[in-house]
Amino acid sequence: MHFLSIVWDPTTGLDLGFITLHYYSLMFVIAFGLGWFLMKRIYVREGIDLEKLDSIFIYAVVATLIGARLGHVFFYDWDYFQHHLLEIFLPFKIEPEFEFTGFTGLASHGAAIGIIVAMYIYSKKVVQKPLLWVLDRVVIPVASGAVFVRIGNFFNSEIIGQPTGSDYGVVFAKLGEDFPRHPTQLYESGAYLLVFLILWLIYWKTNKREKQGYLFGLFLVLLWSVRFFVEFIKENQVDFEETMALNMGQWLSIPFIILGLYFMFRPKKEF
Protein backbone atom coordinates (compact mmCIF):
# COMPACT_ATOMS: atom_id res chain seq x y z
CA MET A 1 0.00 0.00 0.00
CA HIS A 2 1.31 3.45 -0.91
CA PHE A 3 0.53 5.64 2.09
CA LEU A 4 1.95 8.81 0.53
CA SER A 5 0.33 8.43 -2.88
CA ILE A 6 -3.11 9.11 -4.28
CA VAL A 7 -4.99 7.09 -6.87
CA TRP A 8 -6.11 9.36 -9.72
CA ASP A 9 -9.01 7.99 -11.74
CA PRO A 10 -11.22 10.89 -12.88
CA THR A 11 -14.12 10.67 -15.29
CA THR A 12 -13.69 12.06 -18.79
CA GLY A 13 -15.74 15.15 -18.05
CA LEU A 14 -18.98 16.55 -16.74
CA ASP A 15 -22.02 14.70 -18.05
CA LEU A 16 -24.61 17.37 -18.80
CA GLY A 17 -27.06 14.87 -20.19
CA PHE A 18 -27.08 16.05 -23.78
CA ILE A 19 -23.30 16.49 -23.93
CA THR A 20 -20.18 15.63 -21.97
CA LEU A 21 -18.04 18.64 -21.15
CA HIS A 22 -14.50 17.30 -21.19
CA TYR A 23 -12.29 18.62 -18.41
CA TYR A 24 -9.44 19.38 -20.80
CA SER A 25 -11.73 21.51 -22.97
CA LEU A 26 -13.10 23.19 -19.85
CA MET A 27 -9.57 24.12 -18.77
CA PHE A 28 -9.00 25.78 -22.14
CA VAL A 29 -12.24 27.74 -21.77
CA ILE A 30 -11.17 28.91 -18.30
CA ALA A 31 -7.69 29.79 -19.58
CA PHE A 32 -8.97 31.93 -22.45
CA GLY A 33 -11.75 33.48 -20.34
CA LEU A 34 -9.36 34.50 -17.58
CA GLY A 35 -6.92 35.76 -20.22
CA TRP A 36 -9.61 38.03 -21.69
CA PHE A 37 -10.36 39.46 -18.23
CA LEU A 38 -6.67 40.10 -17.46
CA MET A 39 -6.06 41.80 -20.81
CA LYS A 40 -9.12 43.98 -20.22
CA ARG A 41 -7.61 45.26 -16.98
CA ILE A 42 -4.32 45.91 -18.76
CA TYR A 43 -5.98 47.71 -21.66
CA VAL A 44 -8.02 49.88 -19.29
CA ARG A 45 -4.84 50.90 -17.53
CA GLU A 46 -3.05 51.61 -20.81
CA GLY A 47 -6.00 53.55 -22.24
CA ILE A 48 -6.41 51.17 -25.19
CA ASP A 49 -9.80 51.06 -26.93
CA LEU A 50 -11.57 47.96 -25.60
CA GLU A 51 -12.92 47.27 -29.10
CA LYS A 52 -9.42 46.01 -29.85
CA LEU A 53 -9.67 43.50 -27.00
CA ASP A 54 -11.93 41.11 -28.89
CA SER A 55 -9.46 41.08 -31.78
CA ILE A 56 -6.52 40.05 -29.63
CA PHE A 57 -8.65 37.32 -28.08
CA ILE A 58 -9.49 35.88 -31.49
CA TYR A 59 -5.89 36.15 -32.69
CA ALA A 60 -4.64 34.40 -29.53
CA VAL A 61 -7.15 31.55 -29.66
CA VAL A 62 -6.56 30.77 -33.33
CA ALA A 63 -2.78 31.11 -33.03
CA THR A 64 -2.64 28.89 -29.94
CA LEU A 65 -4.62 26.05 -31.48
CA ILE A 66 -2.99 26.15 -34.93
CA GLY A 67 0.51 26.72 -33.56
CA ALA A 68 0.19 23.99 -30.94
CA ARG A 69 -1.12 21.52 -33.52
CA LEU A 70 1.62 22.28 -36.06
CA GLY A 71 4.20 22.16 -33.28
CA HIS A 72 3.17 18.61 -32.44
CA VAL A 73 3.13 17.61 -36.09
CA PHE A 74 6.58 18.95 -36.97
CA PHE A 75 8.43 18.49 -33.66
CA TYR A 76 7.05 15.15 -32.49
CA ASP A 77 5.20 13.22 -35.19
CA TRP A 78 6.39 14.30 -38.64
CA ASP A 79 7.26 10.73 -39.62
CA TYR A 80 3.55 9.95 -39.54
CA PHE A 81 2.00 13.19 -40.75
CA GLN A 82 4.27 13.65 -43.75
CA HIS A 83 2.29 10.79 -45.25
CA HIS A 84 -1.07 11.90 -43.79
CA LEU A 85 -1.21 15.64 -44.42
CA LEU A 86 -5.00 15.69 -44.56
CA GLU A 87 -5.20 14.48 -40.97
CA ILE A 88 -3.27 17.41 -39.48
CA PHE A 89 -6.39 19.46 -38.79
CA LEU A 90 -8.98 16.68 -38.82
CA PRO A 91 -10.48 15.08 -35.67
CA PHE A 92 -10.04 11.58 -37.07
CA LYS A 93 -7.54 9.23 -38.68
CA ILE A 94 -8.03 7.77 -42.13
CA GLU A 95 -5.38 5.02 -42.08
CA PRO A 96 -4.98 2.17 -41.36
CA GLU A 97 -8.75 2.49 -40.76
CA PHE A 98 -11.14 5.32 -39.98
CA GLU A 99 -10.96 6.28 -36.30
CA PHE A 100 -12.39 9.32 -34.54
CA THR A 101 -9.63 10.72 -32.33
CA GLY A 102 -10.76 14.24 -31.49
CA PHE A 103 -8.29 17.11 -31.70
CA THR A 104 -5.32 15.56 -29.94
CA GLY A 105 -1.63 16.26 -30.20
CA LEU A 106 -0.72 19.81 -29.13
CA ALA A 107 2.76 21.18 -28.40
CA SER A 108 3.32 24.25 -26.25
CA HIS A 109 6.44 25.30 -28.17
CA GLY A 110 4.37 25.46 -31.33
CA ALA A 111 1.73 27.49 -29.51
CA ALA A 112 4.41 29.97 -28.40
CA ILE A 113 5.61 30.46 -31.98
CA GLY A 114 2.05 30.80 -33.21
CA ILE A 115 1.23 33.47 -30.62
CA ILE A 116 4.32 35.51 -31.47
CA VAL A 117 3.42 35.46 -35.17
CA ALA A 118 -0.20 36.36 -34.43
CA MET A 119 0.79 39.21 -32.13
CA TYR A 120 3.02 40.63 -34.85
CA ILE A 121 0.05 40.75 -37.21
CA TYR A 122 -2.18 42.15 -34.46
CA SER A 123 0.36 44.84 -33.55
CA LYS A 124 0.51 46.06 -37.15
CA LYS A 125 -3.09 45.71 -38.27
CA VAL A 126 -5.10 46.41 -35.12
CA VAL A 127 -3.45 48.11 -32.15
CA GLN A 128 -0.67 49.99 -33.99
CA LYS A 129 1.82 49.41 -31.19
CA PRO A 130 5.34 47.92 -31.33
CA LEU A 131 5.39 44.14 -31.27
CA LEU A 132 7.28 44.01 -27.98
CA TRP A 133 4.73 46.34 -26.35
CA VAL A 134 2.05 43.77 -27.19
CA LEU A 135 4.15 40.76 -26.18
CA ASP A 136 5.09 42.34 -22.84
CA ARG A 137 1.41 42.42 -21.96
CA VAL A 138 0.03 39.31 -23.59
CA VAL A 139 2.51 37.00 -21.83
CA ILE A 140 0.77 37.76 -18.53
CA PRO A 141 -2.52 36.03 -19.48
CA VAL A 142 -0.56 33.40 -21.42
CA ALA A 143 1.25 32.44 -18.20
CA SER A 144 -2.06 32.19 -16.35
CA GLY A 145 -3.49 30.07 -19.15
CA ALA A 146 -0.59 27.63 -18.93
CA VAL A 147 -1.64 26.86 -15.36
CA PHE A 148 -5.00 25.50 -16.49
CA VAL A 149 -3.69 23.69 -19.56
CA ARG A 150 -1.46 21.56 -17.34
CA ILE A 151 -4.38 20.88 -14.99
CA GLY A 152 -6.23 19.66 -18.07
CA ASN A 153 -3.31 17.35 -18.84
CA PHE A 154 -3.56 16.01 -15.28
CA PHE A 155 -7.26 15.26 -15.75
CA ASN A 156 -6.38 13.40 -18.96
CA SER A 157 -3.58 11.45 -17.25
CA GLU A 158 -1.20 12.54 -20.00
CA ILE A 159 2.30 14.05 -20.13
CA ILE A 160 3.04 11.93 -17.09
CA GLY A 161 6.08 11.89 -14.85
CA GLN A 162 8.48 9.04 -14.24
CA PRO A 163 7.87 6.52 -11.46
CA THR A 164 8.96 7.92 -8.10
CA GLY A 165 10.30 4.60 -6.83
CA SER A 166 8.75 5.36 -3.45
CA ASP A 167 5.38 5.65 -1.73
CA TYR A 168 5.09 9.29 -2.83
CA GLY A 169 3.31 10.23 -6.05
CA VAL A 170 0.16 9.75 -8.06
CA VAL A 171 -1.12 6.42 -9.31
CA PHE A 172 -2.71 7.01 -12.71
CA ALA A 173 -5.38 4.32 -12.65
CA LYS A 174 -6.62 5.35 -16.09
CA LEU A 175 -3.35 4.00 -17.50
CA GLY A 176 -3.87 0.65 -15.80
CA GLU A 177 -0.98 1.23 -13.40
CA ASP A 178 -0.61 0.49 -9.70
CA PHE A 179 2.57 2.42 -8.88
CA PRO A 180 3.05 6.15 -8.16
CA ARG A 181 4.53 8.61 -10.61
CA HIS A 182 5.64 12.22 -10.28
CA PRO A 183 2.60 14.46 -10.97
CA THR A 184 4.67 16.59 -13.32
CA GLN A 185 1.55 18.27 -14.70
CA LEU A 186 0.88 19.70 -11.22
CA TYR A 187 4.54 20.64 -10.74
CA GLU A 188 4.40 22.67 -13.94
CA SER A 189 0.99 24.14 -13.14
CA GLY A 190 2.17 25.37 -9.73
CA ALA A 191 5.37 26.79 -11.21
CA TYR A 192 3.44 28.57 -13.98
CA LEU A 193 1.18 30.13 -11.35
CA LEU A 194 4.30 31.56 -9.73
CA VAL A 195 5.52 32.83 -13.13
CA PHE A 196 2.16 34.55 -13.66
CA LEU A 197 2.25 36.21 -10.23
CA ILE A 198 5.80 37.48 -10.81
CA LEU A 199 4.88 39.00 -14.18
CA TRP A 200 1.65 40.48 -12.82
CA LEU A 201 3.38 42.13 -9.85
CA ILE A 202 6.24 43.49 -11.95
CA TYR A 203 3.79 44.95 -14.45
CA TRP A 204 1.65 46.66 -11.81
CA LYS A 205 4.24 47.54 -9.15
CA THR A 206 7.39 48.52 -11.09
CA ASN A 207 8.39 50.53 -14.13
CA LYS A 208 9.99 47.52 -15.87
CA ARG A 209 7.07 47.50 -18.31
CA GLU A 210 8.52 50.69 -19.79
CA LYS A 211 11.52 48.75 -21.11
CA GLN A 212 10.07 47.07 -24.17
CA GLY A 213 10.83 43.39 -24.24
CA TYR A 214 11.70 42.98 -20.55
CA LEU A 215 8.50 41.25 -19.42
CA PHE A 216 8.43 39.17 -22.59
CA GLY A 217 12.03 38.11 -22.00
CA LEU A 218 11.41 37.34 -18.32
CA PHE A 219 8.42 35.22 -19.32
CA LEU A 220 10.53 33.23 -21.78
CA VAL A 221 13.29 32.65 -19.25
CA LEU A 222 11.03 31.64 -16.37
CA LEU A 223 8.44 29.54 -18.18
CA TRP A 224 10.82 27.61 -20.41
CA SER A 225 13.30 27.08 -17.56
CA VAL A 226 10.48 25.43 -15.64
CA ARG A 227 9.73 23.28 -18.66
CA PHE A 228 13.41 22.40 -19.13
CA PHE A 229 13.96 21.16 -15.57
CA VAL A 230 10.62 19.36 -15.13
CA GLU A 231 11.42 17.37 -18.29
CA PHE A 232 14.13 15.53 -16.33
CA ILE A 233 11.45 13.68 -14.35
CA LYS A 234 8.90 13.39 -17.17
CA GLU A 235 8.40 10.41 -19.44
CA ASN A 236 9.48 10.99 -23.04
CA GLN A 237 6.55 11.59 -25.36
CA VAL A 238 7.92 9.83 -28.44
CA ASP A 239 10.27 6.90 -28.96
CA PHE A 240 13.03 8.78 -30.78
CA GLU A 241 13.70 10.84 -27.63
CA GLU A 242 15.16 7.77 -25.94
CA THR A 243 18.38 8.19 -27.95
CA MET A 244 18.75 11.94 -27.26
CA ALA A 245 20.93 13.50 -24.56
CA LEU A 246 18.07 15.90 -23.86
CA ASN A 247 14.51 15.30 -24.94
CA MET A 248 12.71 17.35 -27.58
CA GLY A 249 10.99 19.57 -25.04
CA GLN A 250 14.34 20.54 -23.53
CA TRP A 251 16.06 21.19 -26.85
CA LEU A 252 13.16 23.39 -27.93
CA SER A 253 13.19 25.28 -24.62
CA ILE A 254 16.84 26.34 -24.83
CA PRO A 255 16.42 28.83 -27.75
CA PHE A 256 13.45 30.44 -25.98
CA ILE A 257 15.51 30.89 -22.80
CA ILE A 258 18.41 32.44 -24.73
CA LEU A 259 16.02 34.75 -26.58
CA GLY A 260 14.47 35.75 -23.27
CA LEU A 261 17.84 36.66 -21.76
CA TYR A 262 18.59 38.78 -24.81
CA PHE A 263 15.38 40.80 -24.49
CA MET A 264 15.85 41.24 -20.75
CA PHE A 265 19.37 42.62 -20.95
CA ARG A 266 19.64 44.22 -24.37
CA PRO A 267 19.97 48.02 -24.66
CA LYS A 268 16.61 49.76 -24.66
CA LYS A 269 15.31 50.43 -28.16
CA GLU A 270 12.17 50.24 -30.24
CA PHE A 271 11.20 47.00 -31.97
Chunk the chain into consecutive blocks of 10 residues (it has 271) and report each block's average pLDDT, rounded to whole numbers.
75 70 86 95 94 90 88 78 70 62 72 93 93 96 95 92 93 92 97 98 94 96 97 87 86 95 81 45
Residue 96: predicted pLDDT? 64
Q: To the nearest 5 percent, what fractions of the chain are helix, strand and coil?
A: 65, 10, 30
Per-domain residue ranges of the chain = 7-265
Residue 271: predicted pLDDT? 45
How many Å apart are CA 229 and CA 221, to the nearest integer? 12
Report the predicted TM-score, pTM, of the whole model to 2 decimal places.
Answer: 0.86
- Please, what is the average pLDDT of the chain? 87
CA dihedral (16, 19, 24, 25) positive or negative: negative
Residue 65: predicted pLDDT? 86
Q: pLDDT tens for residues 96-141? A: 666 555 556 778 888 899 999 999 999 999 999 999 999 999 999 9
How many Å apart are CA 252 and CA 112, to the nearest integer? 11
In 3D space, the residue among 78, 75, 80 whose CA is nearest the CA of residue 94 turns out to be 80
Residue 71: predicted pLDDT? 81
> With contact defined as beta carbons under 8 Å apart, do 215 and 136 qualify?
yes
Residue 83: predicted pLDDT? 73
